[in-house]
Amino acid sequence: MSRQIYINGKFYPQEDAKISVYDHGLLYGDGVFEGLRAYNGNVFRLHEHIKRLYESAKAILLDIPMAAEKMCDAVNETVRANRLENGYIRLVVTRGSGSLGLDPNRCSNPQVIIIADSISLYPQEMYDNGLEIVTVSVQRMHPAALSPRIKSLNYLNNILAKLEGLKAGCVESLMLNHKGEVAECTGDNIFLVRGGELWTPPLEAGILEGITRDAVIECARDAGIAVREQPLTKHDVYIADECFLTGTAAEVIPVVKVDSRTIGTGAPGPVTRDLEQRFKRLTQA
């Protein structure tokens, strides 16, 4: 099915939705993006995603050529134009087309692109039985080099980690930071359950501040579960009672094996299942 793609205020059929090969989004990965979800025609946590988009843009000195409120409207319009009830939305803002050379000041017209499409989640079997992941040798980028809090078009760090995981037979990979602490997975945040508490790396570990992560922390607090954002080691992961990942595309997905170690009983645990249900209710609210 051909989608209607939003580019700078207009809709184009998928086949005709094009931007310049001189765009620095393509030439240098110079730009920012968001991945969002629609549930029953409503975009989940739209304002939070738009806020993060503008913060990412600010961090890279990219002026988005429209107000945040208008961007929210544009996302909703794109969802409607594609009659998308349940699906995934990709919002991209590039630096715009410029000359061959890094200088962003020579770029004009940042391109605002919105795609609303279906989503291919992990297979249901992985939600039922849990994922196996591996720690990879590719470190999460040093926050002083390029902050992982910026959701930029430059995802090579994550792609290299993903490739290493895939070669080891795992669809998701665990990345450590420059200090050897647990950071996050290539497209998901990580949580552990230990002694009835929920543990997750803090933002200072050099991670993306996931919208799903925030939502799950809220769910845990509602459930009366203590949440600790604290530095974690691989050892903490290995001895956890439960482990799960969160992300817009993945939602909440249990992890039952890490680096060949069985986590907890080897089956998705009760706290994970409870938080999965609570998160689902939030998306359907």
Residues annotated as catalytic are 151
Return the number of the residue (112 or 150) whose C-beta is nearest ligand PMP. Answer: 150
- Cβ atoms of 189 and 158 within 8 Å: the answer is no
Return the number of the residue (30 or 188) whose C-beta is nearest ligand PMP. Answer: 188
Task: Return d(Cα 153, Cα 149) in angstroms, integer.
Answer: 12
Task: Return d(Cα 60, Cα 101) in angstroms, integer.
Answer: 17
Return the number of the residue (56 or 158) whose C-beta is nearest ligand PMP. Answer: 158
In whole angstroms, the minimum distance from the beta carbon of 247 to ligand PMP comes to 4
In whole angstroms, the minimum distance from the beta carbon of 143 to ligand PMP comes to 13
> Residue 191 forms beta bridges with which residues?
244
- State whether residue 7 is helix, strand or coil: strand
Task: Return d(Cα 245, Cα 41) in angstroms, integer.
Answer: 25
Short-list 180, 157, 41, 19, CA closest to 98: 19
In whole angstroms, the minimum distance from the beta carbon of 200 to ligand PMP comes to 11
Q: Which two tokens stand for residue 272?
A: 């994970």
Q: Which residues bind ligand PMP (CB under 6 A)?
A: 35, 158, 184, 187-189, 208, 210-213, 246-248
Per-position b or e across 65-101, b if 16+ CB within 10 A of its CB: eeeeeebeebbbbbbeebebeebbbbbbbbbbbbeee
Return the number of the residue (89 or 256) whose C-beta is nearest ligand PMP. Answer: 89
Return the number of the residue (208 or 263) whose C-beta is nearest ligand PMP. Answer: 208
Task: Return d(Cα 74, Cα 113) in angstroms, integer.
Answer: 10
Tokens 């990879």 identify what position?
A: 136
In whole angstroms, the minimum distance from the beta carbon of 122 to ligand PMP comes to 13
In whole angstroms, the minimum distance from the beta carbon of 234 to ligand PMP comes to 18
Tokens 């989004």 identify what position?
A: 25
